[in-house]
Structure 1
């Protein structure tokens, strides 16, 4: 089959790879009909290459048609249309029973001291072949796949794999209350959907910051108040002005380790990426630092006794945190990978509603064949051609 593979820093290519097959009784194989490029994939593209091998298949936002199932898979069958959560979880371990599917003990990567395995995401998370491919082997398929109805296009359901469930968790963990104020940093796909979900949950004022005109325009179409950090000298001051001087009740950090505005951290990240893999892994594991500008903006913009929900991906082990300010303000913080299946029942009725209350139909900006994935990665990375969200069609 054809699949998008990692070949080196900032280099991916579509190659012939072996067809997947049933290996365990809890496996399934699906024919992928749609799969998306995630902002987290760009971390592999640039920063986390030390944890990849040449030829690794990327991608963790797939859906498709079930081709084959193992003997212990009974809730889906060949011909079913399914979305595959990005985290691989068993559904019955200690953490899964509590709804913390991203920490599944059955697929947890204890040798790396990391949580549940993820599709297409490095040695840290199981090195499981990903979904930017024609076919995908799905481990733990007795639990993971989400059956979706026919009759609506893939893109109405595809983002249950990551974007929608991640954004829903980000909003819920921000303690959004009806009539409250919400501030979102970053208007990539996660920021876009988090801001819309915040409005759906009853926030009176939702403010978001970015500097890409197409992202800002998309957010404004959905009633989000926006700030362009290239045009506003003091983003935090602007948020304070818009929230009676207190700051936002709830803040969502939707940027992560690649934030603008921290040149030293950016240099350190890129320098680590140029080291030999073994040396780079040690440097990242022991002394890695992230670009912290977006996170510091969140800490400054949240009101006292407010909540910061961190959904942008971070990987540093030596990040400087303003602990005195956080303690003094009494900030609540929640963070982590989305527990995808925990949120599906809340979101599904909104997707089958013809009115599309979350505006899911207005997110994808580019649809390209799988064979053009390398060009799409480059375009997405450079934010060219108004690119916000890319869906690949195998």
Structure 2
């Protein structure tokens, strides 16, 4: 489970002790906030305060979105990079919460594209537009390799085909296990098309939640909030092939996610399990001290590999990608700093680490 933002703790009381309307709004907000972790984004205190006002019934979702947009429009000074990322987290979170709370849904490529447009309007110039260039993304879970994403020239055709196949699929008389396997297949293929240059995973997650609800599933959004980084890593593994290294696409990790979501199972969703070099034997024997050392060493490699492709990392992100506790991550940071491999900046929860 991801480490909670200090502002988020009060949300739990709404889920435990309030009426259904407040609980529904709380689930929408916690999911919206959790999904920002896919891109290492953390919303501001202002966003959390605005969310609480919405949950308490003081303002509507529309008013919450308007307040967030106005808050950043009123800033006269140019934002630095970290502030721009916070702005993106706040705006996209407020929009996800709004969309998730809405009852309307249309199973079509145009609706998927419209969701992307609503989420990233004013943030990305290409919001609501299919990408017109080919992409690759270095993944820590693949040791820096990339999934083969859909070619730009055929994105529209690929979307139309996958949606048509799913629209004509007959779920009648299927067991819940068969339904989960099929949904895993559909969502993984939808994500692999990667219709948008940025924001694809968040858009896919929102669309998936809406689609599952349209199928009659009472989706508890908590799993998306708490395992958003795992969700992305599982999608990566479901679409990665490297036969030269003996690696084939593996939907097992994503299927565990959906089994928890739709069947109420409690499969462990650890990010390190998704890594192509993860040794299941280490997991089975992790009680032994020698194996614990191996896990720490592997976690160090995961953090260093992440920093090769990203400017910095914090405790929250390190926990997500390694599956370690906050204390375990701090020990690794200390070890890597002592070895002169990384350097830390800032204090306490806001401390960041970069390659030295």
Class of the TM-score when normalised by the shorter of the 2 chains: under 0.3
* TM-score, with length taken from structure 2: 0.28
* TM-score, with length taken from structure 1: 0.26
Larger helix fraction of residues: 2
Larger strand fraction of residues: 1
